[in-house]
Each structure stands twice: as C-alpha cells, then as structure tokens.
C-alpha cells in the first residue's frame, strides 16, 4: 500500500556534502577548499548524477568565478558573491554556462517576484525532481540567498532535506533538524527560498571546444567589466584599486575590528574574505587554464602564461596573510591589521596582484587571438 502523501519521503542520500572549508575538512580532510558556493554545489550535483569529470575546477572555469573579484564602496560581506560579476541582465549566464557544459538543461523556477510559483507548485516540482533522482540547486532555503542543494523531502514535501553552507551558522540553524548523515531538515522553507534550478535529463553537452573558448571570453568580460549592479562600480580589475584604497582609510580600522559608520561588516573580516576568495579563485583558475592548454595547442603558451600569473596571485594572497600573522581570524589578527604600516605593505601586495591579473587577462586575449577565424 502506498504511504499517504503527508508522510511520503524520498532522500538522495549519496549527494556529496558541501560547505565551507573549516566544516568540510572535518569530514573530507583530503579535499581542498571549495568555498565558492555555486561551483561547489554543481560539483556535488554532477558527482551524484554520475558525471564526476565536471569537477570544481571545471565549474570555477566555465562560470567566470575564477576571475571574479568585486569591491563595493564601504565594508560589505557580499563582495565575494559571484552573481555580481556582470550587469544584472547577464548574470544568469554563469548558471547557464555551468549547466549546458554538462549536457543537463535546467528549469529556473522563481519563488519570489512577479512570476513566482506558489508553495504547492514549488513543492510539486521539488518532489518530481527528487523522485527522478535529480537534486536541485536552490538559492536560500537555509541562510542567505546563496545556493544550497535540495537532496530530498519528507512529509510529502513539507520538510526539505539537503546541504547548505550555512546550516551550522547560529541564526540559520535556528529551528533546523538534521538527518543522521548531517543533512539539514527544514520546515517552513517556502518563505526562505528564492528560486530553484531544476536539472533535466542529460542530453548532448555543448561542444567542449565551444565551452573552452566561451569560458575564456567570459573571463575577459568578467575582469574588464568595471560596473555591474547593486551599486557596484569597482568590479574585476578595478576592485584591486578599491581594495587597496580602503586599506588606507585609517579612520575606519580599529584594533577591535569595529564596524565603521555607514558600513555593515567589520573591515578585517571583509578584507580577509577578499584574500581568501582571490587566493582560491585564482588557484583553481590556474588549474583550469593548464587543463585547457592540453586540449588547445595553438593557445597553449598563452594559457600557460596566464596560469602562471594566476598561481602568482594565489601566492601573493598568502603573503598578505603573513602580514597579519598567518591565515585565520582572531583578535590578534585584527590588531595587526589595524597597524597602518602593515596595511600599507598589504596595499602594495594588492597592487602587485592586480598587475598579475592584468597580465593574465592579456595572455588570455592573446590565446583567443591565436585561434580567431576570419571570414
């Protein structure tokens, strides 16, 4: 006899865990940081669907996350959110490029705004996707409007089950329950969910050669687009200048790491987010470019030069960490950061990193020119 809908349950238990590095290293100590949220979620979804070749390196490369950097004036924790990488009317491309490179179409279902579906319809579509064995990438559910993975449902969809980067943070975790394997259980999820990226049955992926060239063109656009949306006028290469300039605002920065008037986050935390994001993004972009160089002999020397620049940027971010006593956050790190001489040394390293990024993009443009066809 079928269970009544009110108690129906289906969970895709083998969808890999995702999360920020401090949490992940407790469960998968051999896995490096995968803190750029959307590429990490896509890696886990593809691994579950039997396509592990589409790994974190792949998604950092094809989405443009590998060259993303943004700095909104003031001190804002959202600087590392990749959907600010291009103007609003183009930002969905990073999601489109991720899915179509794998051969999986997706349906974007909005739960907010003019075309939002109601809770019953959202529940119906979630249940159908999970029943078909396909986990869903969703913004929100637990914590801020960042991606998470819906891996299952219980009580006919009244409870959603999944992985979120924020499921152990005090405020998002309030009221959550957890599965034995650590997945969250969320009731009342509809109000906290922004959208659903529901993967379809796999078809033919976009030609890998097209994906490679498109990802390079997209990287150039991401780096060279100065203004995007949400008041962000220091995107891409311009973000380095804004970052360095903010470090010279001595009046904003205290040993206690207090939030300056008109800002929403403590300066050291925002700075440290930037260091970590740039270090990780450029490291994985370096790996993506080296991987691509194996398949693009005409582009190879330029791609390897660009990869070397990205690797150098990664190392420069570690030099920045050394200026405040190493990688980490503590009152002592914040105290060292507050020293004006320390921040001026850091600003010089940031300017050096920018020059490496400029060179990396120039090498990529040369790679594209080396294979450009003329009519």
pLDDT of residue 375: 40
| Contact indicator for 199, 134 with CB cutoff of 8 Å | yes
Q: Which residues pair with 185 in a beta bridge?
A: 161, 177
- Which CATH number is associated with domain 5-199? 3.90.70
Query: Token pair for residue 175?
Result: 């009221």
Tokens representing 15 are: 């969808």
Phi, psi of 22 (to 5 degrees): -55, -35
pLDDT digits over 273-299, tens only?
999 999 999 999 999 999 999 999 999
d(CA 301, CA 10): 50
**How high is the pLDDT of residue 174?**
87
pLDDT at 7: 55
pLDDT tens digit sequence for 298-321: 999 999 999 999 999 999 999 999
CA distance 137 to 139: 7
Between CA 107 and CA 29, with CA 140 as vertex, the angle to 5 degrees is 100
Encode pLDDT of 100-110 as tens digits: 999 999 999 99
- Residue pLDDT, tens place only, 48-72: 999 999 999 999 999 999 999 999 9
pLDDT at position 175: 87
CA distance 303 to 63: 17
Measuring CA to CA, which residue among 295, 277, 271, 153 is closest to residue 210? 295
- The DSSP-derived string for 20-77 is -HHHHHHH-TTSPP--SHHHHHHHHHHHHTT-TTS-HHHHHHHHSGGG--B--SS--G
Examine the pLDDT at 28 and tell me if it is beyond 60.
Answer: yes
Residues in CB range of 78: below 8 A, 6 or more apart: 72, 84
User: What mean pLDDT is predicted for residues 11-27?
Assistant: 95
Q: Which conformational region is residue 54 in: left (phi greater than 0), alpha (psi within -120 to 50 degrees), or beta? A: beta
- The Cα-based distances of 121 to 115, 124, 196, 315 in angstroms read 12, 5, 12, 48
Tell me phi and psi for residue 20, to 5 degrees.
Answer: -70, 155
- 374 pLDDT more than 50: no
Cα dist from 373 to 215, 296, 302, 304, 368, whole Å: 17, 15, 17, 22, 10
Is the pLDDT score of 6 beyond 80? Answer: no
Q: Which residue has the higher pLDDT, 161 or 5?
A: 161
Distance, in Å, from the CA atom of 315 to the CA atom of 62, rounded to the nearest integer, reads 23
User: What confidence score (pLDDT) does residue 58 get?
Assistant: 98
Q: Are 118 and 112 in contact, with CB atoms under 8 Å apart?
A: no
Q: Which of 341, 352, 342, 343 is nearest to 314 (CA)?
A: 352
pLDDT tens for each residue of 233-283: 999 999 999 999 999 999 999 999 999 998 999 999 999 999 999 999 999
Residue 309: its pLDDT value, please?
98
pTM for the predicted model, two decimal places: 0.94
Whole-angstrom Cα distance, residue 110 to residue 171?
24
Percentage of the chain lying above the pLDDT 90 cut: 93
Residue 1 confidence (pLDDT):
40
**pLDDT value at residue 372:** 75
Distance CA 97, CA 88 (A): 16
Task: Look at residue 173 in the predicted model and tell me its pLDDT.
Answer: 85
Section 225-233 average pLDDT: 95
């Amino acid at each position: 006899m079928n269970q009544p809908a009110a108690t129906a349950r289906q969970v895709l238990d083998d969808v890999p865990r995702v999360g920020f590095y401090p949490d992940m290293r407790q469960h998968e100590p051999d896995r490096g940081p995968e803190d750029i949220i959307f590429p990490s979620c896509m890696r886990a979804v593809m691994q579950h669907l039997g396509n592990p070749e589409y790994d974190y390196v792949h998604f950092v490369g094809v989405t443009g996350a590998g060259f993303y950097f943004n700095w909104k004036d003031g001190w804002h924790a959202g600087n590392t959110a990749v959907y600010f990488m291009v103007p609003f009317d183009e930002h969905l491309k990073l999601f489109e490029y991720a899915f179509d490179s794998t051969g999986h179409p997706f349906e974007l279902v909005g739960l907010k705004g003019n075309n939002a579906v109601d809770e019953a319809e959202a529940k119906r579509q979630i249940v159908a996707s999970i029943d078909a064995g396909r986990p869903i990438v969703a913004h929100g559910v637990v914590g801020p409007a960042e991606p998470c993975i819906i891996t299952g449902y219980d009580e006919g969809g009244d409870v959603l089950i999944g992985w979120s980067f924020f499921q152990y943070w005090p405020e998002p975790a309030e009221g959550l329950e957890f599965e034995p394997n650590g997945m969250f259980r969320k009731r009342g999820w509809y109000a906290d969910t922004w959208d659903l990226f529901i993967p379809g049955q796999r078809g033919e992926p976009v030609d890998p050669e097209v994906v490679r060239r498109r990802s390079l063109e997209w990287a150039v656009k991401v780096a060279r687009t100065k203004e995007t949306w949400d008041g962000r006028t220091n995107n891409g290469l311009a973000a380095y200048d804004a970052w360095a300039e903010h470090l010279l605002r001595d009046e904003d920065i205290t040993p206690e790491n207090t939030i300056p008037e008109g800002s929403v986050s403590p300066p050291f935390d925002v700075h440290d987010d930037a260091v970590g994001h740039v270090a990780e993004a450029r490291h994985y972009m370096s790996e993506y470019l080296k991987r691509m160089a194996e398949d693009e002999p005409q582009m190879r020397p330029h791609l390897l030069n660009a990869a070397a620049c990205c690797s150098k940027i990664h190392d420069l971010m570690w030099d920045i960490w050394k200026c405040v006593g190493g990688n980490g956050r503590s009152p002592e790190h914040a105290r060292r950061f507050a020293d004006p001489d320390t921040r001026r040394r850091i600003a010089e390293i940031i300017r050096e990193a920018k020059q490496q990024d400029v060179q990396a993009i120039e090498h990529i443009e040369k790679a594209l020119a080396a294979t450009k066809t003329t009519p």
